[in-house]
């Protein structure tokens, strides 16, 4: 049975796509000299050959105040543009669209910091143990400019749009968390003040790139804080609606942090786990709403797209395991995705499905998987 809604052409977040199947941002960890490498090109080419409608890149580092881990693509100067250009061209050759995810990691580091680690306030991070240095207001203005400059480079490189990463406990997610943001100035105190930095980034990008350049956001519907104190669904709605009023083109609804009850990448027993929040949001905003998390069945995906106002779905792990998954489904093989949501692809040597590793590498990865499952969502 053809799953028509999922595979129809559409406009999602201001971008014309050949289908509603998006690859959610997936950190590659394989940049060479902080630039797009052949491995990154190959990974994305395979996805485009596999008929993914639009790819959101793994997060790119946009700020000199960040401490990017090894293998991160850093786009803080124009030297990044030629590699990005090659990536956009490679993807476009297959009729697939590409959006760059713009991020500042804040305290959520996967390698020792080389410089000061910044945050909204000096609240110790429960996972890394880092006590961040609060940004001054002047530094916040500089950071807003850096996001704008990064978007400018992305547009020059031929990308179809950008996505601001404000989910999963990274810097902007920390700003919208009442646990991490204790500021009493213009950038903290209630949901609208906590999200002011994001609004300023949105306006800065639109000012530089033009109001028609698509700006998307990935936002938590809840941090799933163990004591219920992080970003909650009510604040999420306030922030998402304010962003929509201010011209955000698409909102990808995610949830969880490394210290939350649930990780953003949950175990297999959880399916379509942000559906209710995405469904509600989609009835309240004009911006396109994209649902991520635990989507493995084409029948479920098609049902969601047919019965709700959600514009597109996005997947990460299913497409790590099977880059050709969308094509397989389009060709009528509608078995569920083979990914078992074990999180063995969080690999410090570069993102790869656990099942493609040699025995020695598997042993190392098993330790990382043990750590991940000690965190949440299992």
Ligand X SMILES: Cc1cc2nc3c(=O)[nH]c(=O)nc-3n(C[C@H](O)[C@H](O)[C@H](O)COP(=O)(O)O)c2cc1C
Collect all residues with Cβ–Cβ distance below 8 Å to 140 and sequence separation of at least 6: 187, 197, 200
| 58 belongs to the binding site for ligand X (CB under 6 A) | yes
The single-letter DSSP state of residue 64 is: T
Which does residue 351 touch among ligand SF4, ligand X, none (CB within 5 to 8 A, set by kind)?
ligand X
Residue 341 in the binding site for ligand SF4 (CB under 6 A):
yes
Residues of this chain, 251-310, that bind ligand X according to CB under 6 A: 254, 264-265, 292-295
**Phi and psi at residue 12, to the nearest 5°:** -120, 120
How many Cα atoms occupy the beta-carbon half-sphere of 325 within 13 Å?
22
Binding mask 114-133 for ligand X (x = CB under 6 A): --------------------
| Stretch of 20-28, 31-39, 111-119, 235-243 contacting ligand X, by CB under 6 A | 20-28
Q: What is the DSSP-derived secondary structure letter of residue 74?
A: B
24 lies in the site for ligand X, by CB under 6 A? yes
Both tokens of 12, joined, read 């999602």
Q: Which is nearer to ligand SF4, 218 or 321 (CB)?
A: 321
Where do runs of H (alpha helix) occur along the chain? Answer: 4-7, 38-49, 81-92, 137-156, 171-175, 191-194, 196-209, 233-245, 275-284, 298-307, 317-321, 325-330, 359-375
Which of ligand SF4, ligand X, none does residue 26 bind to, with CB < 5 to 8 Å depending on kind? ligand X
312 binds ligand SF4 (CB under 6 A): no
Among 43, 244, 281, 320, binds ligand SF4 (CB under 6 A): 320
Residue 316 DSSP one-character state: S
- Which one, 83 or 318, has the nearer CB to ligand X? 318
Gyration radius (Cα) of the chain, Å: 19
Alpha-carbon gap, residue 360 to 363, rounded angstroms? 5
Using CB under 6 A, list all residues that contact ligand SF4.
Answer: 317, 320-321, 339-345, 353-355
Using CB under 6 A, list all residues that contact ligand X.
Answer: 24-27, 58-59, 101, 165, 167-168, 218, 254, 264-265, 292-295, 315-318, 345-346, 351
């Amino acid at each position: 049975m053809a799953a028509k809604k999922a595979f129809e052409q559409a406009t999602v977040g201001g971008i014309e796509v050949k289908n509603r199947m998006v690859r959610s941002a997936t950190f590659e960890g394989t940049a060479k000299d902080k630039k797009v490498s052949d491995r990154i090109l190959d990974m994305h080419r395979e996805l485009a050959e596999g008929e993914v409608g639009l790819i959101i890149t793994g997060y790119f580092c946009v700020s000199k105040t960040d401490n990017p881990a090894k293998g991160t693509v850093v786009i803080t100067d124009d030297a990044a543009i030629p590699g990005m250009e090659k990536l956009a061209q490679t993807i476009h050759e297959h009729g697939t669209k590409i959006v760059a995810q713009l991020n500042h990691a804040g305290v959520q580091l996967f390698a020792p910091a080389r410089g000061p680690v910044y945050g909204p306030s000096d609240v110790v991070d429960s996972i890394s143990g880092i006590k961040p240095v609060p940004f001054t207001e002047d530094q916040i203005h500089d950071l807003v400019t850096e996001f704008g400059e990064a978007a400018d480079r992305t547009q020059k490189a031929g990308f179809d749009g950008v996505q601001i990463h404000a989910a999963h406990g990274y810097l902007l997610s920390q700003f919208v968390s009442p646990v991490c943001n204790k500021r009493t100035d213009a950038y903290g105190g209630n949901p609208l003040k906590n999200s002011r930095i994001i609004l300023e980034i949105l306006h800065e990008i639109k000012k530089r790139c033009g109001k028609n350049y698509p700006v998307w956001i990935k936002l938590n519907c809840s941090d799933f804080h163990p004591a219920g104190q992080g970003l909650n669904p009510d604040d999420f709605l306030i922030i998402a609606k304010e962003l929509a009023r201010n011209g955000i083109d698409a909102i990808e609804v995610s949830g969880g942090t490394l210290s939350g009850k649930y990780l953003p990448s949950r175990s297999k027993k959880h399916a379509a786990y942000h559906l209710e929040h995405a469904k509600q949001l989609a009835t309240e905003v004009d911006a396109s709403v994209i649902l991520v998390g635990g989507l493995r069945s084409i029948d479920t995906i098609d049902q969601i797209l047919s019965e709700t106002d959600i514009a597109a779905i996005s997947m990460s792990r299913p497409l790590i395991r099977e880059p050709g998954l969308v094509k397989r489904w389009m060709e009528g093989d509608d078995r569920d995705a083979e990914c078992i949501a074990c999180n063995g692809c969080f690999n410090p040597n570069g993102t790869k499905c656990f099942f493609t590793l040699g025995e020695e590498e598997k042993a190392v990865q098993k330790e990382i998987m043990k750590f991940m499952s000690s965190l949440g969502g299992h």
